[in-house]
Amino acid sequence: MTGTKPVQARLLELVRNQYFWGIVAIALLLAINVAADPTYLSIRYNDANGALVGNLIDILRATAPILMIAVGMCLVIATGGIDLSVGSVMVVAGAVSMEYLQNVGAPDSVGAALTAVAFAVGISALLGLVNAVLVAIVGLQPFISTLVIMLAGRGLAKVITEGQNTTASNDGFRWIANGYVLGLPVVFIIAVVIVLLVAWIVRRTALGLMIESIGMDAKASRLAGINRRGLLFTVYIGSGILAGVAGIFATASVMTVDVSRTGYQLELDAILAVVIGGTSLAGGRFAIGGAVIGAFLIATLDKTVVFLGVSSSATPAFKAIVIVVLCLLQSERVRNLFRQRRAAKASAPKEVVSA
C-alpha cells in the first residue's frame, strides 16, 4: 500500500499539468483519424525530393505559422494585454513580400528572397511598434489599440496590392515554406528554432520574470524599478515580428497573398492556443511550452476537420465543441466538482442487507 500513494500523487500532478489535457486531446484526434483510416499515421520517404510524406508531416507544416503567432500572443497576454492584429500583420507582411518579388521579377535570386523577408519583417515590426505606442505611450486599452491595427492592417494590404491577390515567383522564397531538410519541412524547422530562441531568452534571462511581474501587478513592478513601457514595446514589437514571419510562411507556401483570406481569424487560433496551454488571460505567469502544445492541437484539429470531411459551415461548431470540452477538463472548479461527487459517494452509508 505504501507504493500506491506516490503513484497516485504523480498521477494527480500529471492531470493538473497545464500541458496534459492538450496532449490528450491531440492523441484523441489522431486516434479518431486512425479509426477512420488505419494508414493515417504512416510516413513514407519520397525519393524524388528527399522528403518525408504523410499526414503527420502535413500537420507539422500547418503548425508552423500558428506557433509563431501563439508564442508572440503568449508574451503579450502575460503582460495583461492582447494582440488582435496578428492576422492583419500576417497579410501585410505577405503583401509586401509578394509585391516586391513581383516587381523585381528575379525568380532565381536568393538576394531578392532575403530582401523580401527583410521588408516583411520590417513592416511587421513597424506595426508592432504602433501597437506598443498606443498601449504604452498613449495609454489605450490593448484590446482597442490592436483592434485598430487589425482593421487598418487588412486595408493597408489592399492598398499595397491595389485590392488584388498578388502572385510572384522566387525559388528561394518558396523554399522557406516548401523545402525540406533531413526529410522535415524547412518551415517547421525554422519555427522550432525561433520558438526555442524566444524560450531561451525569456527563461534564461530576467526578461520573462519582468514580463510576468507587470502582468501580475503593474504598480508593484513600477515601484520595484521595472521599466513597464520598455517591456510593452518589447512584447508588442516581438509579437508583430513573429506574426510577420507567420505571414511569410503562409504566403510562401502558395506564393500568393490573398488579401481577404491570408491570416483571417488566426488571431483567434493564437488566443485559443495560449489559453489551452494554461496561460491566463488576466496576465501574469505564462507557459510557452503550453502555447506550443496549443498550436499543435489547433493544427491537428484543423487537419482532422478536413480529413473527416466536416462541412465548412459546421467547422466552427466542431472546433468550438472540442475547445469547450478541453477547457472544461482543464478547469480546476470542474475537477473539484467531480472530486466532491466521488467523495460524497464514498462517504455515503452503505445499505445493510438483512438476512
* Nearest C-alpha neighbor of 202 from the set 270, 287, 291: 287
Cα atoms found within 13 Å of the Cα of residue 287, Cβ hemisphere only? 20
Q: What is the pLDDT of residues 238-267, one digit of tens each?
A: 999 999 999 999 999 988 998 888 888 888
Q: pTM score > 0.75 for this model?
A: yes
With b meaning 16 or more CB within 10 Å and e meaning fewer, what string describes 100-130?
Answer: bbbebebbebeebbebbbebbbebbbebbeb
Q: What percentage of the chain reaches a pLDDT higher than 90?
A: 43
Q: What's the pLDDT band for 132 if we cut at 50, 70, 90? A: very high
Q: What is the pLDDT of residues 267-302, one digit of tens each?
A: 888 988 898 888 888 888 888 998 999 999 999 988
Neighbours of 329 (CB within 10 A): 15
Q: What's the pLDDT band for 9 if we cut at 50, 70, 90? A: low
Amino acid 332: pLDDT: 66
For the record, the C-alpha cell of 21 comes out as 489535457
Say yes or no to pLDDT of 15 above 70.
no
Kindly give the residue spans of alpha helices, DSSP state H, lying in the chain. Answer: 4-16, 20-36, 55-78, 86-104, 110-132, 142-161, 171-178, 186-204, 207-216, 218-223, 228-252, 266-276, 288-307, 315-330, 332-347
* Nearest C-alpha neighbor of 249 from the set 182, 192, 306: 192
Neighbours of 268 (CB within 10 A): 15
Q: What percentage of the chain reaches a pLDDT higher than 70?
A: 88
What CA–CA distance (Å, rounded) separates 88 from 127?
Answer: 10
Say yes or no to pLDDT of 131 above 90.
yes
- The rounded mean pLDDT for the chain is 85
Q: Which residue has the higher pLDDT, 146 or 339?
A: 146
Q: What's the pLDDT band for 190 if we cut at 50, 70, 90? A: very high
Contact 226, 214 (CB under 8 A): yes
* Nearest C-alpha neighbor of 238 from the set 115, 148, 131, 149: 131
Q: What is the pLDDT of residues 156-167, one digit of tens each?
A: 999 998 888 889
Instruction: List the domains of the chain with CATH numbers.
Output: 17-344 (1.10.3470)
State the residue for C-alpha cell 506564393. Answer: 255
For the record, the C-alpha cell of 36 comes out as 477512420
